[in-house]
Structures are given as structure tokens and as C-alpha cells.
Structure 1
Amino acid sequence: MKNLIEFSNQSSLDHLNINIRWLKEWKLSKRREHMYIFPYTTFWIVLSGTAVIELNHIRYPLKKGDIVSIAPKTALAWGEVSADQPFHYLSLACEAKVGAMDFIHSYRFPHVVSDAPSEDIHALIEEWRRLADDYNAFLQPFDEKDIKSSEKGYDKPFPLFKLNTDQTIQHLKIRAKGMLWVQQLFQTIRYRLPEHPVSYDDRVFEICDYVEKRLDKPPSLEDLATYVSLSKEQLRTLFQTTYGLSPMKYVRHARLQRARDLLMLTSYPIKDIASQIGFEDQHHFSRAFQQSEGMSPMAYRRRLLQHGIKHE
């Protein structure tokens, strides 16, 4: 009899997506004055030096051998950087989601792990460098000015690359190696992770995705309930259990989060942002934003500019 191997069941990771966006090596000899907003899930490995950073206003001291996990939309501010030697670290950023849920939130990754075995850290560093070589080779054929990056700003237009067959093979190799690197890191800090990820009803994924794609025309409670074949009361209970808030408060939160992202990361006019998140005019948007943030959208953007906020 043949050895047949099959796993056709649906699983909680059917909608897992890990897509590498950057690999960067940094050496800092002084603290950065700017605050940074991370658009992707980002991991650091500290190679040398010491520093103090703030992630969403919480301070973390860093030293050689530390692993740092940063969720998307996290604000980073620099406190101190060692004067005797540069603060040297490797950075890998990726889209890492299960459906609409952020991967490292689902598995409660600690922001900083300081006691991982040195041999595991070394293996991660070596694999990062091999992955960086492959990524660099993949990028060689493209015109540098056409490659989208945080340094150039994400609000500028960049071309969509249509990959040929050889480039597709290279890209698949990078994605596979990137997923293996994340798996290796996951295994390295396994002792700091829970036995099970945060549990979500699959319909929550579906609704979150549905809402994110329709922020310009926000769905009603009835629309959401119909989409997942629940009564409105059942849907309220599901969201209250998962998020601790009602479905429509979630929709409002998603719209205003998109507004904050656009105010931070683009130079779009306020009226255009209002339209993109489904407000009938700038006045209604400004009033909702004021109620949420305690300031107008324009004041929010001015404050970001005054603090030199960028995205990394």
C-alpha cells in the first residue's frame, strides 16, 4: 500500500500570510530625534551596543542578544543610545497576519526577549544574512527609483511590478525563506509564548476583512449580521466577547484608525481623507475625530509634524 499523506481539514492558520517587506541593518551612534510609526510587523536582533527605546510610550532597555518584536502601527521613540559603541541591530519587517488579525498579537509576542540562547541568536543572524543576500539579488534588475521604501515615503505613486517566471521563482524562494526565518524566531522564543493563541471566532476575521474593504462606504449593523448569517444580537455578543465593544464601535474605530494612518503617513487633504473613510463631508469627519482624539484632524497632523514623526 502506498504511503498517502493528506491534510484537507480547515485550520486556524488557513489565512496565514507572511510577506517579507524589508531587511535592514542599522548602526546608530546617537539617538534619533524623530518618532517612527511602523507600517509592518517588525523584528530586531541587537548585535552590539545598548539603547533605551519607547514603544507606545513604554520604555525598554536593549542590549546585545535581545530580540525585539514590534506590531504594526506601533510608535517608536528613542531614549538613549550608548556612547562607547554604536547600537547595531538587524531589522526584518513583514506583513504577518492570520486573516485580519496581527500574528504577533494573536500569539502575545513579548516586546523584548533578553534571555534567548546565544546559539539560537547566532543561527537567526546567519539566516538573516543569507535571506538578505537573496533579497538583494532579487532587487537587482529593478530600477532603484521605482522601488517603494519607507525612506522615500509611502504616499508617493510607485509602479506595480509584474514579475516574470524567473522573478516569480526568486520571489517564492524569498517568501519561503522568510517564513522559515519567522518560524525559527518563533521557535527561539517559544518558552515565552502561550500554549494557545488568542481565540477568535472565524466570523470575526470575515467581518474585520469586510469592514476594512468598505471604509469608504461603512456597512450597517444589519449589513454585517447578514454577511455572516447572524442576528444583530448574536453579532453584538460575538464582538463584545472578542473585542469588548459593539460591532458599530469597531467600524468607527477602524475608520478613525485609517484616518490616523492617513494623517500620519500621507499629505492627503482633510476632505479627501474624510471621503476615503465614508464621511459625507469634512465637517462631520472633523467632529468625529475631535470627539475621539480631543483635537481636530489638522491639529493632529500639525502635532505629528512638530514632533518630526516619520514612518520606518
Structure 2
Amino acid sequence: MDLNRLSPYIRVAWDSTIYPPVHIPERVLFDYELLYIKEGECEVIVDGIAYKGIPGDLFLFKPNQPHSIRTMNDRPLRQPHLHFDLYYQDDSPEVPISFKPYSRLNERERQWIRPNDLRDMTPPLPSHIRLNKPEAIEQLMMDIIFEFDSKFPYYETTAKGLFIQLWMHLLREIHWQRSPHLHSNREQLDRVKNYLSHHLHEEATLEELAGLANMSKYYLCRLFKKAYGITPIQYHLSVRLEKAKEMIRFTDLSLTRIAEELGFQSIHAFSRAFRTREGVSPSAYRKTS
């Protein structure tokens, strides 16, 4: 999926409670659904695989994916849930919620089935996610539901922004779960990242960062790149150059002074790094800003 184009359409946002015994027979959806278990327990069968849902669990149902839900005991099942398209389409406002198996859909209803934009994700997003820290996702879901219930001005746009935050939380949660060595060292990685973000005035060395994280510099580099996509030194250079762009655009400081304040050894080293990243020299960037 292309996250740069992400423009969700939220069709339904409900905080519903069902009282046992309840069995929602197998059905397929036209759209996506996120179902969060806030209270109670249930059995959810997705594509023939049974999962036990407990408080803090999240289920992701994809378009045309067979699934059923059954309460497991005599406790009410509270299940905040959202139906949505990941990308707005011209017919998004017209498409209803499906409660039927595929075999009972008519031709028009089958045309409402959205493409599964998550199909090409590697590895694929799971149908059942046992959240390590459910509080953030639960709060965002409840905030979205509140917007739909209150219908304040611009509630749909507000809900869309909240959903994008929720989706990013979910992708990060799955990323951390698939890399347990990252999760166990997350505090150290955050410490290094925050240090680099707040020390723009000097160059950093792997030796001092490794000491800060209490691990070898080779292990730190590997973990940091796995977590953030770049090495610590590359990240530090990136945030320093972003600060340089801001100073070039919004101050009258000379380029030499900017290079000095951001810890570059010389104006030549600064210019070379800036041109490599931005494709233009600092002076050319100032002229066009």
C-alpha cells in the first residue's frame, strides 16, 4: 500500500455491546473493519482459522474475507469497531455494510467489494493482533467514535486525521512485534534517537552513542537501522540538515555561521553534505527559498 496516498473514508464508527449468547454467522465485508475487544471474550474465525479474542485484542477483517464471531461466556462483549476504505473512492459514501456470505451477494453487491490494498504487503498484516500496548489504539478508536457520535463541524475530517494516527500506531505495533530484539531494546534506541535530535550543534560518534545505549557500536548500528531505516550517524546528519534548511530560509545568518552552529568541520563539508542530500548547494537553496 502507498502510505503517501492514504486517504481513509470511515463508513461506520460504533462502540457496540452484544449480550450472550450471540453468534454472528460467516459473512464477507465490502470494506475493511477494525474490531477492538474492550470487554468480554469471543471466538473469531477468519478464513477457517479460530482465534480467541480477549480485552486488548484487535481484529482486522479485509474485504471479501470470510469471518464469523461467537461470544464465549455469559459476559457482555463490548466491541468498538470501524468500517472504512483505506482510499476514498467516488462511491465510498454509497457503499453499505455487508452482513451476508459471499454466496448470497447479488451482482451489484459484489461490485461493492473493495480491492484489498494490503494484499502486497510483505509480510501480510495479520487478522488477529494481540496488542502489547493497547491504550493508544483504544483511545484513538474511542476518539473517532466520539467524533461520529457528536458530529461537530468538520468531524469527518477530524476522524480521518485520527484514523491515520491509529493506522500508524498499528503498523508500528506490528513492526515491533515482528522484531522482538528491537522491542526489548526500544528504550535504548529511543534514548539515542532523542539525544541525536537534541544535539544538532556537534558531530556524534558511534563510540559515544554506543556508550549511551550500553551496547556495542556494531549492534547499535544494526538495531537502529532495523528500527528507523538508517544508521544513527545518517539520522543525525539528516536532522542537522533539516535544521540547516530552516536556518537558511528563515534567518540572515551566513552559510559559514550556519555550518559552525550545526557542528560541521568546515563550510566545504557542510556544502558537500547539503548538496548530496538536497541536490543543490546551500546558496542555491537560499536563492530559491
With normalisation by structure 1, the TM-score equals: 0.37
More helix as a share of residues: 2
Larger Rg: 2
With normalisation by structure 2, the TM-score equals: 0.40
Whose RCO is larger (CA < 8 A, sep 6+)?
A: 1
